[in-house]
Structure 1
Amino acid sequence: MQITYLFDPLCGWCYGAAPAVERLARLDGVTVQLAPTGLFAGENARPMDASFAAYAWQNDQRIARLTGQVFSDAYRTQVLGAAQALFDSAPATLGVVAVGQTALDREIDALKLLQRARYVDGRNNAELAVVADTLAVAGLAEAANLVLSPDAALLAAYRARIDAARGDMARFGVQGVPALVIDDARGRRLVPSNILFGDVDALAGQLQAA
C-alpha cells in the first residue's frame, strides 16, 4: 500500500498528525510519500499580525488537547509574536524537498525536525537560515546547503511536487490538510483525515478497511 500524505509544514493539524504519520511509515508493506501542497507557501503566505497570531494560537490549543503535541510558550512568543514575520511555508517545504533530493529515507524525519523547531523550540522555520541550520544540525548538511543556494534541479522538484499534490487535491476534492490518499489493489482513494487523530494502534486496520 502506498499512502500519499498531503500536508503543509506550517499546518498545525499536520503537526498534530505527525505521530500517526510516523507510525504509518513504519508499517510493513506501507510506503508513505510526502506530498507538500504549498498551501501557505509563496503567493499563499501572509503577514503574522496580532489577529492571525491569536487565531493560530487558539487553534493550536485545540490541536494540543486532541493530540498531546506540544505548542510551547517559546513558539507563542518567538514565532507567533515576532514583529513583521511572515507565515510562509516555502522555506520549510524547500527543506523537505531538498532532503528528498539528497537523503530520501530521511524526509519524514526532516519534516518532524522542522515542525519541532517551530512548535517546540520556538524557531521561525519560515526563514531559510533556520531551515538550513535545523537540517545541518541533524546531519543533513547537503540538503542544508541546497536550501541556502538552491539549484535549478531543486527548484524544479519543489514546483513539481507541489503541482502533483495540488493535482491530487483537485482530483479528490480536498479542501485542506492533512489528508491521505491510499493506493492499493482497489485503486487510489481518499480516506478520512480524522483517522490520523484517533487510536494510532488501530490506524493500519482502519486504512485496510477504508
Structure 2
Amino acid sequence: MRSLLYLYDPLCGWCYAATSGIARLRAAGVVVSLRPTGLFSDPGRVMTPEFADYAWKNDQRIAAMTGQTFTKAYHRQVLQAPGTAFDSTNAILALTAVAIDSPDGEADALRAVQEARYVAGRDITDIATLGTILTEAGYPGAAAAFDARAATLLSANAARLAAGQALMREVGGSGVPTLVMVDGASRRLLDSDALYGPSDGLLARFAATLALA
C-alpha cells in the first residue's frame, strides 16, 4: 500500500504553510504519517531582535507566496519578546505524546500548535502552554502524558527523531517540509512545493504516484 511520510518541525514556517495541503491529501484518502526531524530542537537558540527581524521577513515571504497568515499578535508576542526560546524540543515531545495516545491525531494537533503560535501569538516552546493547547485541541490524555514525561515517552520521542533524521538522510532531503512516498520497501522523495498550491493542482500532481486518479 502506498502512503506518504511527512517530515516536519513545529517551528518551521514553511511547514505551517504546508498544513492545508497535508489536510487536503488526508481528506482525499491519502495515508500521511508524520515524522519530526528536530531541525530546530535542542539546543535551539534564544530570540534576539536581529533574529526576530530575520524570521519576520521570512514569514512575510512565505505569506506572500502561499497566502498563509502570520498575525501581528505573533509578531508582537512571540518574535518581539527577547529571550524567548526558539527551540522545538518541547513541541515535538508534546506531539509525540499525541502520536502515542491518539495515532490519527498528530496532524490535527500539529495544526493546533502551529496556529497557536502563528495566529494567536502563544509561546509553543513553553511547557504549560503546550499542555493547555493539547487539552484545548481535544487530547487531554496526551497532555497528561506530556506533563508526566515518563521514560517511555522520552524514549519513544528519541526514536521518532532518530527515525526522521535517518529517513531525511536516506532520501537526500535538504530540509523541512519533506514528503516521502512509501511503496512497500521503497521510499522516494517527492516535490513538496505542490503543498502550497490550489487543491486541484495538488491532487493532480500526486495522482499518478498515489493512485488517486
Q: TM bucket by the smaller chain?
A: over 0.9
Residue aligning to 1:22: 23
3-state SS in 1 of match to 2:125? coil
User: How is 1:81-160 mapped onto 2 (pairs within 5 angstroms)?
Assistant: 81-160=80-159
The residue identity in structure 2 corresponding to 1:135 is L
- Please identify, of 190-199 and 110-119, the stretch whose mean Cα deviation from structure 2 is larger: 190-199
Deviations 1:9-49 (A, max 9, x none): 00000000100011111222x21000100000112x01111
Structure-1 separation of matches of 2:184 and 2:98? 30
Structure-1 separation of matches of 2:185 and 2:64? 35
| TM score, norm. by length of structure 2 | 0.93
3-state SS in 1 of match to 2:180? strand
CA RMSD of aligned residues (A): 1.4
3-state SS in 2 of match to 1:70? coil
The residue identity in structure 2 corresponding to 1:171 is E
Structure-1 separation of matches of 2:168 and 2:136? 33
3-state SS in 1 of match to 2:182? strand
- Unmatched 5+ residue regions in structure 2? none
Name the CA shift for 1:96/1:186 in 2 (closer, same or farther; >3 Å). closer
Task: Give, in angstroms, the shift of residue 142 of structure 1.
Answer: 1.1
Identical aligned residues as a percent: 45
- Unmatched 5+ residue regions in structure 1? none
Count of paired positions: 208
Residue aligning to 1:40: 40
Structure-2 separation of matches of 1:74 and 1:147? 26
| TM score, norm. by length of structure 1 | 0.95
The residue identity in structure 2 corresponding to 1:197 is Y
Deviations 1:153-201 (A, max 9, x none): 1111111111111001111121210010011369320011211122222
Is the 2:41–2:87 Cα contact (8 Å) retained in structure 1? yes
Residue aligning to 1:184: 183
Is the 2:116–2:133 Cα contact (8 Å) retained in structure 1? yes
